[in-house]
Amino acid sequence: MSDHYYNADDLAKFGNIAEYQKEMSDKFFSYYGEVFKDGHLTAKEKSLIALAVAHAVQCPYCIDAYSSDAYEKGYSEQQMMEAVHVAAAIKGGAVLVHGVQMMNKVKEIGM
């Protein structure tokens, strides 16, 4: 057991989750592969969405994987950073929009 929570080498071991539950793992990876194929969105567009989501869920493995993937698929540094800003804006917006809920509550209980 390592003395820290994240290890970059673990990304390459992702497939090892099948060791404890093969059926579900197989289903997940099959689904995952299907999701990222060219469809109504291209594989390239999906890669940029994945990059933004990776930042939103703050998954270091996903950030590593999709920073490489999006760059390899031809996105520029500027495009990738804009995608991260989209994630930040949505996350920031998600916090702020709850401010309305706070206002509602305060108005409900205040005089």
Residues that bind another protein (CB under 8 A): 38, 42-44, 68, 71-74, 76
Q: Which is nearer to another protein, 58 or 68 (CB)?
A: 68
The encoded tokens of residue 9 equal 């080498």
Q: Which is nearer to another protein, 30 or 76 (CB)?
A: 76
Q: Least Å distance between CB 6 and another protein?
A: 18
The pair phi, psi for residue 41, each rounded to 5°, is: -105, 150
User: Positive or negative CA dihedral for 50, 51, 52, 53?
Assistant: positive
The encoded tokens of residue 104 equal 């509602």
Q: Least Å distance between CB 16 and another protein?
A: 15
Q: Which is nearer to another protein, 26 or 72 (CB)?
A: 72
Q: Least Å distance between CB 73 and another protein?
A: 5
Q: Least Å distance between CB 72 and another protein?
A: 4
Side chain identity, residue 60: P
Contacting residues for 97 by C-beta, under 8 A, at least 6 apart? none
